[in-house]
């Protein structure tokens, strides 16, 4: 049965190739950013219901999240779709720099692209569902809708609220974004810990900053010094927290902390302080201990800044993730399925588009302008070896992505599939971001990635339903890695409220039509 079911899965992906292409471009065009993926989420919900899934919307208190189920009983096997885009990256699917029609360059666009991630996983799930129906395969297939990956927002929430507790295995997919993770799976060095927090500074009582002049009850507002307030607080927080790079985690492996100034309440007059100032900090570190040290340092800084500027400070966690847990059993089987599915192959249309991009960059056409590595398979062991060439031996995790939350609740594999990119050219130097973004929206360039992902995921889901020994071995490995005191519970509390109330960038409807809010 397993052999026939695998053949059905592959045939399903091939038969629905045109649909997958159309769907990928549709989500790419919507290009909605984190926590505001209303139309993208609605499309997935409608599509999954049309395909026979029972869909629960708004899971975990997140309006743009969902859980879709097909089948019943054990095993319970999951994959997930993502669909958030990135502000400041609007790019049309053309070989020159220009935003998508009706937007500005400041609007959101798909960079990785999550449009291909989501439809690739959806295609794999539909392939597995077709095999389950045709061959009478039991079990429950789950597809999660995971918003806000760019701020690693939904998976820690789903994990904290118990949505992953009944899973027996999960498949995670991402288009290639760095070497050596092109057409391979992660073996040992999974993503590390992530933290993100927003500090809001509010001058609740600016009148206390300076005594009223003249002894009267009314201050000379137009002549008095203005309280420092929220703007000064954000500037001070920004400045002193730069020292974290030198004095908190200096010279301890690869890690990063970055900030973003989110919003400032507008003053009604020049002598009145703005109502609020907000700054967000996000960090990617190998260990939880490093993450905790950064969080503690930021908390101290925020408290001191609030006192200096006459403000109240309110911290708002956005996300906290755990370092990932490997699973060799699933990594090796998924890679074998990737080999069978075949790496992506690009045709003359993709090469013509690439040469058109080269012409825009002032480069001459070449016979093959595409990055050869994106079409080559790389065994997980070799990818691991190459990755670790630049890492210290003690560092067991690298970069961050919130798929790691699945890895603590069930055996999970992380799959990467190559995506169409320009080959390096010494005459060009680093390519501008619009180049990769344009490739992500061009069907001839992105469809092979989606097809390979869907075929591989479909095969792997079928294996997890049909091969009891595979699932047992993966489960035993997972228990060994997370048992005996090694289990780490979700870092967010079960009653955590997702930060959907913050003024994240988004598209809005006004009397002028649909537009982009920031800037």
DSSP of 352-415, one letter per residue?
HHHHHHHHHTT----S--B-GGGGSB--HHHHHHHHGGGS-TT--B-S--TTHHHHTTS-EEEE
Please report which confidence band the pLDDT of residue 224 belongs to, taking 50, 70 and 90 as the band edges: low
Whole-number Cα distances in Å, 297 to 240, 278, 442: 10, 17, 45
pTM of the predicted model as reported, rounded to 2 decimal places: 0.94
At residue 22's C-alpha, the angle toward residues 18 and 28, to 5°, is: 145
- Is the Cβ–Cβ distance between 188 and 391 less than 8 Å? no
Asked if omega into 70 is within 30° of 0 (cis), the reply is: no
- Comparing CA positions, the residue from 447, 422, 424 lying closest to residue 345 is 447
Least confident of 247-261, 356-370, 437-451: 247-261
37, pLDDT greater than 60: yes
Least confident of 243-247, 285-289, 470-474: 243-247
| Gap between the terminal Cα atoms of the chain | 56
What was the pLDDT predicted at 248? 77
What was the pLDDT predicted at 230? 86
- Is the Cβ–Cβ distance between 141 and 485 less than 8 Å? no
Whole-number Cα distances in Å, 511 to 39, 45, 108, 514: 20, 29, 21, 8
- Is the Cβ–Cβ distance between 176 and 417 less than 8 Å? yes
CATH topology of domain 194-212+222-321: Alpha-Beta Plaits (3.30.70)
What was the pLDDT predicted at 253? 79
Residue spans per domain, the chain? 2-191+323-482, 194-212+222-321
Question: Exposed e or buried b for every residue in 247-285, given b needs 16+ CB within 10 A?
Answer: ebbeeebebebebeebbbbeeeeeeebbbbbbbbbbbbb
| Coil vs helix vs strand at 37 | coil
- Comparing CA positions, the residue from 282, 278, 423, 277 lying closest to residue 357 is 423
- Comparing CA positions, the residue from 119, 133, 147 lying closest to residue 60 is 147
How confident is the prediction for the chain on average, in pLDDT? 93
d(CA 453, CA 448): 9
| Coil vs helix vs strand at 458 | helix
The single-letter DSSP state of residue 47 is H
The single-letter DSSP state of residue 112 is S
Please report which confidence band the pLDDT of residue 222 belongs to, taking 50, 70 and 90 as the band edges: low
- Residue 514's Cβ-count burial label (10 Å; 0-12, 13-18, 19+) is exposed
Angle, helices 229-241/288-309, rounded to nearest 10 degrees: 140
**What's phi and psi for 93, nearest 5 deg?**
-85, 60
- Comparing CA positions, the residue from 176, 116, 97, 82 lying closest to residue 433 is 97
The single-letter DSSP state of residue 207 is G
- Is the Cβ–Cβ distance between 145 and 291 less than 8 Å? no
The single-letter DSSP state of residue 57 is E
What was the pLDDT predicted at 512? 86
d(CA 271, CA 169): 59
Asked if omega into 113 is within 30° of 0 (cis), the reply is: yes
Average pLDDT over residues 256-275: 77
- 2-191+323-482 classified as CATH 1.20.120.1200: no
In this structure, the number of other CB atoms found within 10 A of the CB of residue 509 comes to: 8
d(CA 82, CA 417): 15
165, pLDDT greater than 80: yes
d(CA 281, CA 257): 7
- 289-347 pLDDT, tens digit per residue, is 999 999 999 999 999 999 998 899 999 999 999 999 999 999 999 999 999 999 999 99
In this structure, the number of other CB atoms found within 10 A of the CB of residue 431 comes to: 15
């Amino acid at each position: 049965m397993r052999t026939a079911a695998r053949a059905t899965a592959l045939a399903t992906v091939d038969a629905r190739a045109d649909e997958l292409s159309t769907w990928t471009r549709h989500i790419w065009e919507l290009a909605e950013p984190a926590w505001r993926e209303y139309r993208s989420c609605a499309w997935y919900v409608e599509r999954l219901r049309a395909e026979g899934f029972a869909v629960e919307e708004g899971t975990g208190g997140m309006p743009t999240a969902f859980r879709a189920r097909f089948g019943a009983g054990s095993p319970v096997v999951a994959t997930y779709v993502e669909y958030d885009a990135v502000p400041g990256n609007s790019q049309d699917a053309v070989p020159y720099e220009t935003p998508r029609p009706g937007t500005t360059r400041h609007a959101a666009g798909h960079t990785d692209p999550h449009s291909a991630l989501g439809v690739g996983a959806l295609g794999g799930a539909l392939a597995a569902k077709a095999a389950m129906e045709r061959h009478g395969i039991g079990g429950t297939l789950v597809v999660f809708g995971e918003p806000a990956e760019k701020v690693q927002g939904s998976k820690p929430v789903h994990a904290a609220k118990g949505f992953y507790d009944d899973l027996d295995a999960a498949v995670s997919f991402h288009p290639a974004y760095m070497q050596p993770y092109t057409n391979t799976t992660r073996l040992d060095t999974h993503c590390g810990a992530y933290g993100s927090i927003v500090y809001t500074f509010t001058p609740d009582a600016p009148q206390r900053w300076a005594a009223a002049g003249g002894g009267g009850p009314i201050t000379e507002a137009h002549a008095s010094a203005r309280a420092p307030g929220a703007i000064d607080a954000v500037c001070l927080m920004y400045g002193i927290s730069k020292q974290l790079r030198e004095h908190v985690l200096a010279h301890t492996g690869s890690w990063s902390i970055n900030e973003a100034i989110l919003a400032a309440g507008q003053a009604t007059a020049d002598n009145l302080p703005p109502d609020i100032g907000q700054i967000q900090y996000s960090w990617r570190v190998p260990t939880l201990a490093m993450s905790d040290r950064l969080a503690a340092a930021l908390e101290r800084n925020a408290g001191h800044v609030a006192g200096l500027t006459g403000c109240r400070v309110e911290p708002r966690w956005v996300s906290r993730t755990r370092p990932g847990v490997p699973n060799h059993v699933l990594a090796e089987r998924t890679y074998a399925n990737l080999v069978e599915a075949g790496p992506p192959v690009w045709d003359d249309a993709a090469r013509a588009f690439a040469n058109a991009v080269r012409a825009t960059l002032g480069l001459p056409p070449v016979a093959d302008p595409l990055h050869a590595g994106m079409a080559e398979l790389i065994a997980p062991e070799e990818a691991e070896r190459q990755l670790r060439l630049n890492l210290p031996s003690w560092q067991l995790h690298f970069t961050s992505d919130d798929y790691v939350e699945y890895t603590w609740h069930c055996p999970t594999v992380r799959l990467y599939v190559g995506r169409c990119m320009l080959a390096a050219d010494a005459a060009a130097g680093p390519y501008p971001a619009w180049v990769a973004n344009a490739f992500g929206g061009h069907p001839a360039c992105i469809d092979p990635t989606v097809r390979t992902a869907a075929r591989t995921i479909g095969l792997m889901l079928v294996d997890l339903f049909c091969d009891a020994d595979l699932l047992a071995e993966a489960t035993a490995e997972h228990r060994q890695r997370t048992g005996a005191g090694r289990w780490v519970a979700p870092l967010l509390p079960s009653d955590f409220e997702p930060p959907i109330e913050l003024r994240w960038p988004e598209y809005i409807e006004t009397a002028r039509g649909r537009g982009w809010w920031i800037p």
